Amino acid sequence: MTGALSTEVIAALADELAEADRAHTVIPRITARHPEATIEDSYAIQRVWRDRQVAAGRTLVGRKIGLTSRAMQAATGISEPDYGVMFDDTVHRSGVVLEVDAFSNVRVEVELAFRLASPLAGPDCTLEHVLAATASVVPALEVLNSHIELEGRTIVDTVADNAAYGAMVLGETAKPPEDVDLRWVAALLAKNGTIEETGVAAGVLGHPATGVAWLANKLHQHGDRLEAGEIILAGSFTRPLWVSRGDTVTCDYGPMGTITCSFR
């Protein structure tokens, strides 16, 4: 699929999204204003935004994959996975207190994070390749941060908005992939002491490592690859949990430990 938008329009939309991120605001849907926009356009917008962030001094530390489970696809009405980038200043440890005003449309998702020991590249990356390249798997929470109006959005809108990534909260338990059946990692997601969502990691394409393989193959189409040392969020296996100021979120991963974060 080729792009339909000019380089000038792509740059202008990247500017809009950067300003929305700075001001913590929401912009009208790209697809409402540019119905001809393709998914290649949206990745082009994301790349322009990413490159400007790197030029400004931010350090890319990994990628996030979204919309890999039926739970998330049902919640968003979007059936195709997507990906975005993660910078070092968005990575936090369990127990962090986050400023709710730093995000827009704040929600939390349950995920597994893969730390890569060696590069991964398409076009024929498989689940087995991912497991061999992974140093450890860590439970994580993703904080969503949507800068495009949610009503009626499509995959084009979501991808352009860096796949709605806001922040990541990492757990303290890291295990080599051979030491745990990743399909059966389960999670109990609670807000203010009440369990709101539960899920099992097999909900991500049958095995969370399959999502990482999808990403490596998708990046190959864009002339990119996953590098050693990157952290890859494999996708949520629960629906997103809306949070507000004053909320405390806890996720119990059983043998993989517990993660907490609060919003003020």
Q: Which of 209, 56, 190, 14 is nearest to 120 (CA)?
A: 209
| Average confidence (pLDDT) over 71-98 | 85
Q: How many CA atoms lie within 13 A of 79 on its CB side?
A: 0
| Average confidence (pLDDT) over 71-93 | 82
Residue 81 has a pLDDT of 81
| Average confidence (pLDDT) over 212-218 | 93
Residue 78 has a pLDDT of 63
Residue 260 has a pLDDT of 98
SS3 assignment, position 81: coil
Pairing of strands 194-200, 186-191: antiparallel
Whether 158 has a pLDDT exceeding 80, the answer reads: yes
Give the C-alpha separation, 200 to 19, whole Å: 37
Q: Which of 91-95, 127-131, 167-171, 221-225 has the lowest mean pLDDT?
A: 221-225
Structural domains in the chain, sorted by start = 60-263 (3.90.850.10)
Whether 70 has a pLDDT exceeding 90, the answer reads: no
Whether 75 has a pLDDT exceeding 70, the answer reads: no
- Per-residue pLDDT band for 3 (boundaries 50, 70, 90) equals confident
195 vs 68, 168, 192, 254, 258, CA distance in Å? 22, 20, 8, 14, 13
Residue 1 has a pLDDT of 56
What does the mean pLDDT of the chain come to?
94
Give the C-alpha separation, 143 to 169, whole Å: 8
Whether 10 has a pLDDT exceeding 70, the answer reads: yes
- Per-residue pLDDT band for 242 (boundaries 50, 70, 90) equals very high
Residue 264 has a pLDDT of 98
